[in-house]
Structure 1
Amino acid sequence: MKKWIISAAALAAAAAHADDSAHAAIAKAWQQYRSGVESEQELVEVQVIQAGQAQPNKMVWRRVRYGEQGQRLAIKFVQPAADLGLGLLVERNANGGDQVWLRQPSWTSARRIAGNRENKYFADTAFTFEDTKQLIAEPTSQFDYRYISQGAAGSMVAATPKPGTASGYARRDIALNAQGVPLRIDYFDAGGKLLKTLSFEELEFPAPGRWRANRIVMTLALDASRSTLIVHKRQFNIPLAEQMFSVQNLLETESANSK
């Protein structure tokens, strides 16, 4: 009996260590993502296919500011003309809830997005508001992680929301390559059904360890609807005015030629 107790304790300790290691692997991936970056600006083309039909391409400015207490994300649509005035502002807080504001072209003011509304799809794409936030950082304190597989070519880590964490997914399986960079994320509902898949493609390393994907693809499992983000221009650590990360700025339109 004593040997069984020791064995059970050893197994529990090994499982806890594996969970800590999986958590560390995801945390490291996103630490490298933002390594040496205080601000970032991208001009992104958005290609959307819904139920086999290509939709008009979109162009957006995506701006991010990183800080010790979280991140701020501002998205402004600049093409097509019908999307001028569409924008999103996100304040991610390390020690509190996120703040999300949406402005539609027909609205005279921005509106707060809260609760399960973050699970809604954004701008007729395959990305929800939650997905859009996850593209700039993984809030590792809000999820439990465990290895599904490990090998010389990479690993697979399952992420499940901790109690009290609002998420549209019961589980995400995150595939890391040998360098620990995420390549794919599979999203599942509470019944284990695959909902969609995200892939990070055309990886580059603009600084040692720091990774970026120049092409990001989200594909829905139900009907293969797909949204592809293609980065046309990226700038690191350029001055970004405080005004760019304000609700008021969502009311101002921009062009693809904005600096």
Structure 2
Amino acid sequence: MFTKPFAFALFLFVLFGGLAFLQPVQAQNATAILAKVDSVQNAFSDMTANEQMIITDASGSQKERTLRINQKGSELRMVRFLEPADVRGVGFLRVAADRLYLYLPAFRRVRRIASSAKNENFMGTDFTYEDMSQSVYADDYTARELSTQQGQYRLFLEPKPGADVNYHHLVILADTSNYVLRKVEFYDREEEKIKELTIDNIEKIDGYWMGKTMRMVSLDDNHETVLELSDIRFDQGLSDSDFTERMLKRPIR
């Protein structure tokens, strides 16, 4: 028969010892799930697609734009505006996390985007240059929490020490059935939610899961950008030479 002090000590050991055991397991599960989410997003060797963009401001006024996106692996990405005429040829190039470039045809020059400018919005959209370049969350963030709700994993992502990111943290949701990313919540340094990205119209194309509709909302400004993807093609044999400053400046035909 245990004495009361011993029984209470045993209870504390089981309680806190058990929690100490469970927490790393939960962290490991969250890390593994984030890795799977990243792998689904970058499962293809390369991808090309057209994007129809609609930007809506607080008054309801809209701007429509057409873009072309090319991507190879998780590192190389190029986005170019096709229409309307006033933005035709404007381009964005990601070569690495710290090598981002913007091309403005009116000035006929490529400008490297400084790290200090990564939190600026890209061409009046609700996507910052940092958002445009993000592809592998595990490179910059550690998954700290894991819960499951309504068929989706919920992960709290905390920046890794030294990570060149401007958000205090992210909260992401992904489907438990296929690890497709469905929502990203963005929090500023004051831990206030400032933006929300939702991904819908999920389709499996040539064996790859793809969200064909993306909606980024800036909560403080009541401003949103919607992207509709079409003509999505995978594994077209793009080469590294397709993602250079020279190609960024190439006239659109």
- Residue 72 (structure 1) aligned with residue 76 (structure 2): yes
Q: Give the counterpart of 2:31 among 23, 35, 41.
A: 23
Correspondence for 2:236: 238
Are the structure 2 counterparts of residues 29 and 207 from structure 1 closer, same or farther at C-alpha, using a change threshold of 3 Å?
A: farther
For 1:130-149, list aligned pairs within 5 A.
Answer: 130-134=130-134, 137-147=135-145, 149=147
What TM-score do the two structures reach when normalised by structure 1? 0.87
Distance 1:240 1:175, change over 3 A: same
Are the counterparts in 2 of residues 116 and 166 from structure 1 also a CA contact under 8 Å?
no
Which whole-Å CA distance do the structure 1 matches of 2:238 and 2:146 have between them?
Answer: 40
Structure 2: tracts of 5 or more residues without a match: 1-8
Equivalent residue letter for 1:253 = P
Classify the secondary structure of the residue corresponding to 1:240.
coil
Q: Which moved more, 1:103-112 or 1:41-50?
A: 103-112
Q: Unpaired runs of 5+ in structure 1?
A: none
Does the alignment pair 1:12 with 2:10? no
Deviations 1:162-220 (A, max 9, x none): 11012121111111223232211111112221101000010001245x31111100001
Q: Percent identity?
A: 20
Code of the residue aligned with 2:108 in structure 1: it is: T
Equivalence for 2:181: 182
Q: Which residue of the other structure, out of 165, 170, 177, is the alignment partner of 1:167?
A: 165
User: For residues 187 and 77 of structure 2, what CA distance do their matches in structure 1 show?
Assistant: 26
1:34-70 CA distance string (max 9 Å, x none): 32x211101111110122343331111100011xxx5
Quote the Cα distance in structure 2 between the aligned partners of 1:240 and 1:111: 24
CA deviation map 1:109-128 (0-9, x unaligned): 11111212111100110000
SS at match of 1:64: strand
Q: Which residue of structure 1 lines up, in the alignment, with residue 155 of structure 2?
A: 157
Question: Partner residue of 1:247?
Answer: 245
User: What residue number does 1:113 align with?
Assistant: 113
2:67 and 2:82 in contact (8 A); partners too = yes
Partner of 1:201: 200
**Kept in 2: contact 1:45–1:231 (CA 8 A):** yes
Number of aligned residues: 244
Contact 2:29 2:146 in 1 (8 A): no
Aligned pairs (5 A) from 1:40-55: 40-55=47-62
Given the alignment of the two structures, is residue 60 of structure 1 paired with residue 59 of structure 2, yes or no?
A: no
Q: d(CA) in 2 for partners of 1:116 and 1:161?
A: 17
Deviation of 1:5 after TM superposition, in Å, equals 5.1
Which residue does 1:86 correspond to in 2?
A: 90
Tell me which residue corresponds to 1:216: 214
